[in-house]
Amino acid sequence: MTEVVLGVCGGIAAYRACELLRLFTESGHGVRVVPTAAALKFVGVPTWAALSGRPVATEVWDDAHEVPHVRIGRHADLVVVAPATADILAKAAHGIADDLLTNTLLTATCPVVFAPAMHTEMWENAATRANVALLRSRGFVVIEPAVGRLTGADTGKGRLPDPGEIFEIAVRRLRGKGADLAGRRVVVTAGGTREPLDPVRFLGNRSSGKQGYALARTAVARGAHVTLIAANVTLPDPAGADIVRVGTTEELRKATAEAAASADVVVMCAAPADFRPATVADFKIKKRDDGTVPPLELVTNPDIAAELGATKRPGQVLVAFAAETHDALAGARVKLARKRADLIVVNEVGVDRVFGADRNTVTLLGADGSATELGELPKDDVADAIWDAVVPRLVVLVGDRGTR
């Protein structure tokens, strides 16, 4: 049984950690809850003990003969701090150990994941940003907080991400993937664009966005700062990713070009429409009196991946996708060269195949001539395989360090 330490800090989001705790226990993990004194003002010891099925230690002096301030961290396979306050981030960054949780963090040699929750001003404060950067440089995963309702009437960035999404990131860390994308800025596009015909109709495709969202989720788990550009996706937002919502191919083009300017990796997983109507009707298009349909003139949309490939900075990695209905590999090799991509992910698609499914079968083709065929896998595992191929192609950053 894997041993998880769930650290809980003092914030209104502490009650949401109860759901995270249940997700761990119901999936077979042993969980030791280590709340701070402030956390107990929001959720008490009996609740944590009942949900974890284990006693809850709150002081370094509890069961002193077992030396808990060393033992808990030393025996953990994973430490998750949710919610993580600005205070705990500062203490962890600077090695302060003044209670049981901070002692546990200082002695833990396993992966550590922080899920921050605080007011927007606290998250954006220069001191907090510096502490987060320092923790990430050491291989800790600090998830970007969500945007939404905070305490009282306040709204902004600082909300605890969805516990289910925190759980997914934590599980990826438990499965052995290090923070090999720490310090990297990653852009992932997902979903399918829609080109309006008239006020009620559009040209679109069947892309659900699941593979792109899996890429974003796994990149966060591996320590990256992720911008997810989502085209008409209705899935829950991956925890820790900055979400940019777009509708049309032109909107996707502009958002991706802006985000790519400072990115180390751009993954073009979205399915942009190849064509759009030459004109958009101001009113709903109706059948003619004889039942026929007015002719529809289409024009070609820009090839976003090819534009990115043409302007790619030295050291930047571009990953393209090729969704084909036949002759997939042959078509993908042509696209790989034309788009000047470093990698292209190839799959055959169709009705009830890939789109909307939870599993995928792909082949990775590299500009270096490499070819890796993956059997049918969950889309999260496909995403990890893609990142495994990306990491060796990244230029080593000054200051890159070992991962936790």
Asked if residues 95 and 63 have their Cβ atoms less than 8 Å apart, the reply is no
- Domain(s) labelled CATH 3.40.50.10300 in the chain stretch across 185-285+294-393
How far apart are the C-alpha atoms of 314 and 333, rounded to whole Å? 22
How far apart are the C-alpha atoms of 348 and 180, rounded to whole Å? 30
Give the pLDDT confidence score for residue 37 in this predicted structure: 95
Q: Class of the 3-174 domain? A: alpha beta
Which residues fall within 8 angstroms of residue 90, CB to CB, at 6 or more apart?
Answer: 96, 127, 128, 131
Instruction: Tell me, yes or no, if 205 is annotated catalytic.
Output: yes
Active-site position among 205, 232, 301, 347: 205
- Domain(s) labelled CATH 3.40.50.1950 in the chain stretch across 3-174
- Tokens at 65, concatenated: 């003969």
Of the CATH numbers 3.20.20.330, 3.40.1160.10, 3.40.50.10300, 3.40.47.10, which one belongs to the domain with range 185-285+294-393? 3.40.50.10300
Give the pLDDT confidence score for residue 343 in this predicted structure: 96
Give the pLDDT confidence score for residue 398 in this predicted structure: 44
Give the pLDDT confidence score for residue 229 in this predicted structure: 98
CA atoms within a 13 Å half-sphere pointing along the CA-CB vector of 327: 5
| Secondary structure (DSSP) of 95-123 | T---SHHHHHHHH--S-EEEEE---HHHH
Cα(first)–Cα(last) distance of the chain, in Å?
Answer: 20
> How confident is the prediction along the chain (404 residues), in pLDDT tens digits per residue?
799 999 999 999 999 999 999 999 999 999 999 999 999 999 999 999 999 999 998 876 565 545 555 778 888 999 999 999 999 999 999 999 999 999 999 999 999 999 999 999 999 999 999 999 999 988 899 999 988 877 777 788 989 999 998 998 898 888 766 778 988 999 999 999 999 999 999 999 888 999 999 999 999 989 899 999 999 999 988 888 999 999 999 999 999 999 999 999 999 999 999 999 999 989 888 888 887 888 889 999 999 999 999 999 999 999 999 977 777 788 899 999 999 999 999 987 655 555 667 888 899 999 999 999 988 899 999 999 999 999 999 976 544 544 45
